Chains A and B, each alone.
Chain A
């Protein structure tokens, strides 16, 4: 708390009704810009209807993106006069849920804890930067004698896009004042009002998955069947989702040897489903009815991480390994071998995940692959194996989708999809738009459904700790 960086000025405006913390000004801890381009379409905005635990509408919240900050307007009714803690909570669920302290179900517990993009685990003042305290810690709401509290203020702790993005999270008003220091929520007591921050003027469709531990990393679409496939990084289970109705069925239970985890998914021209097996070092092929066809093993290693795969026009399938510096190839006779060693090439493997999403160009000339830990996009010539750096700036790049000269890149930790316009011969590229969609939770991979895209919200960060937001979902939205 002593390391607060107090930045005052135009970036911050506290409404008169928000007398939180004895008039504490909000800081403007300016993070390094993560977004090179403005989001596509009109200005980003979000609204929420605040409801009481009985479900009655008791106010509204409006958020507008203004440069690097967000303007917040709150009006809440029917509250006890005085100061009320107010926070953005992690999950977009105003449902009953478990209060971990007592392990009982409480009103609006489904909203989870305070939004904490910096993973600080620290409740703090609204003046604290997100690296020191919860990003969701807002100034208290001052409620007048009429039971109405109004506030208008600017903050750059929040955004509607990127790592600090609050789309599809919730704003909660508590019963008690906020001491701006006690973990986990400043002694603010019960949750009295809750609303999910929903993007305005934007249409998208969610497909919910049935399991509490699905962690869908891969997504693929079979246009002939109208079926979306989603695979669990946690269990290897593959679901088939009817794209029209949203009905989910189990396509293949995970857990067998080589099938205990599923990362990248692709459908080939025969309607077979290909699965990158991650740390198992396997590639699996399922028949169009889900029966096992083959499990192909790369050399056994504690360091395998087969992450994504790309069927090429010649019938081969190329596979990236995010930790071993090699690209594997499966030939049409279903044999796997190392196709290209990356040792000594410009694609230098370092800590973390390296090559991840991969696509083959329709002319059969190149692979395009993104290196997650450095944000570089690479072009690899399928004939000469020559390697060329296309562009940088795609940090946390996970799944790729090539649509003509447009490359969509799923940026997992940033929670956005980047649109890249590629130059002649795929030799250069430029980010032309970045899209937060409806608020994405660690978006991993992409597939095309006609004029739409579908992204899996993998929440793989929650495999390292924390609670995932269920239901897990795939989100379908228009190309942009």
Chain B
């Protein structure tokens, strides 16, 4: 509750006091003797988990793709199919978080299907195995508190996993980790918060970490990221984008899901701020660091560049560099929004397209594959929780459903 006149006085006094010449453009927020006060606030919140349905082939017809595109199921029965990594020879690594393993799949007979004989488990006993990336013939996998590395053989097989880096934060509420080698030769990995919406004790939680190439040393690259799983560098600009999941239980539309430009050393606001540095009224301010006001805290954070429907829950993000899709898709990103459980009208349950403009700046997020969730008999039903996204060697788009264990493939056939 600052009075405008007092604010003006602050500036006036700073101008005349000797020895207080602040070379800063924005002065430091003032530490307070006691936590700031905020008015009480109420929310209406809804738990709405659409009735889950097992995938069956007849449901394919419910899925909608833009004109000219065709969708098919390439494999089923894959279990908790999460993240994908496609090799140049068409081999596909699949992580299964619930099973804690990695599978190798290859459509050796080129029939567009990955039959039971074309898939095999190549690593196991890796708790919460999730994000994957490849560098110099080695597959890196991140799980709950560990990054493993395995040497790949030509047939897709993997050596016994070696611990590459360890001692990461507990998983808690957000156990889906991701990693990728950056253009600077460092390994980037994201670790979500153990909780929903309060500060955490472990300073490596809710962060993106950057690791040295030997895995032995790391830094907090960015913080205030509640659960950023999908991230990647724009193929033209090299800018690092990430999709963050906002807090639960704050209402149908607060906070929105974020697309952030992730820069080194920046704080992206969670748990106190969302979107364009907006203070979240539903977060307790009593334990804010330094007992500053939420507004002052948020002013020192970094806002999102785009927002999306609350609770849609982004998982993977994949920049499309193939040539099979129409030219306007090139260098856009596809994001798997796994779907809400905390919104009256469900959000997500779709593959969305992050559209970049001619200037290679993000413009909007629009649906790409929809139809997994629908109203039926007065209630909501869904038959797919989408997770991993990757570009296949032929330029088609692959994505997974971790509920029924389906690998989907979207091809562009409009030109034919």
Asked if chains A and B come from one complex, the reply is: yes
Chain A positions within 8 Å of B, measured between CB atoms, are 49, 51, 53-55, 92, 94-98, 100, 103-105, 107, 110, 112-113, 168, 196, 198, 204-214, 235-236, 245-248, 250-260, 284, 290-295, 438, 467-472
Partner of B220, one of A95, A98, A253, A438: A253
Q: From residue 182 to 221 of chain B, which have CB atoms closer than 8 A to chain A?
A: 186, 203-204, 207, 209-210, 212, 216-221
For the complex, is B137 an interface residue (Cβ under 8 Å from A)? Answer: no
Q: When the two chains form their complex, are residues B207 and A98 in contact, meaning their CB atoms are under 8 A apart?
A: no
| Contact A254 B203, CB 8 Å, known A206-B20, A292-B218 | yes
Chain A residues near B42: list those with CB within 8 A. Answer: none
Chain A residues near B265: list those with CB within 8 A. Answer: 250-253
Q: From residue 158 to 172 of chain B, which have CB atoms closer than 8 A to chain A?
A: 167
For the complex, is B22 an interface residue (Cβ under 8 Å from A)? Answer: yes
Q: Quote the shortest CB–CB distance from A333 to chain B (angstroms).
A: 14
Within the assembled complex, what's the spacing in Å between the Cα atoms of A259 and B209?
Answer: 12
Bitwise, B276-305 to A at CB < 8 A (1) or not (0) is: 000000000000011110001000100000
Within the assembled complex, what's the spacing in Å between the Cα atoms of A196 and B265?
Answer: 35
Q: Quote the shortest CB–CB distance from B285 to chain A (angstroms).
A: 11
| Contact A256 B23, CB 8 Å, known A94-B13, A105-B3 | no
Partner of A292, one of B1, B30, B219, B289: B219
Chain B interfacial residues counted at CB < 8 A: 55
Q: When the two chains form their complex, are residues A291 and B219 in contact, meaning their CB atoms are under 8 A apart?
A: yes
A sample of 22 cross-chain residue pairs with beta-carbon separation below 8 angstroms, ordered by A number, consists of A94-B13, A96-B2, A96-B9, A97-B32, A98-B32, A103-B35, A112-B33, A205-B21, A208-B28, A210-B24, A248-B23, A250-B264, A251-B265, A253-B220, A253-B223, A255-B220, A256-B219, A294-B217, A467-B31, A467-B33, A470-B31, A472-B28
Q: How many Cβ-Cβ contacts under 8 Å join chain A to chain B?
A: 165
Q: Quote the shortest CB–CB distance from B221 to chain A (angstroms).
A: 7
Within the assembled complex, what's the spacing in Å between the Cα atoms of A112 and B210?
Answer: 40
Chain A residues near B216: list those with CB within 8 A. Answer: 294-295
Chain A residues near B300: list those with CB within 8 A. Answer: 210-211
Beta-carbon nearest neighbor of A94 in chain B = B13
Q: Quote the shortest CB–CB distance from B302 to chain A (angstroms).
A: 12
Q: When the two chains form their complex, are residues B19 and A260 in contact, meaning their CB atoms are under 8 A apart?
A: no
Chain B positions within 8 Å of A, measured between CB atoms, are 1-3, 6-7, 9-10, 12-14, 16-24, 26-37, 167, 186, 203-204, 207, 209-210, 212, 216-223, 264-265, 289-292, 296, 300
Beta-carbon nearest neighbor of B165 in chain A = A257
Chain B residues near A257: list those with CB within 8 A. Answer: 167, 204, 218
Chain B residues near A245: list those with CB within 8 A. Answer: 23
Beta-carbon nearest neighbor of B222 in chain A = A253
Chain B residues near A290: list those with CB within 8 A. Answer: 264
Chain A residues near B212: list those with CB within 8 A. Answer: 291-294
Q: When the two chains form their complex, are residues B33 and A256 in contact, meaning their CB atoms are under 8 A apart?
A: no
Shortest beta-carbon contacts, A-B, top 10? A246-B23, A255-B203, A212-B290, A471-B28, A250-B265, A96-B6, A292-B217, A255-B220, A253-B220, A100-B33
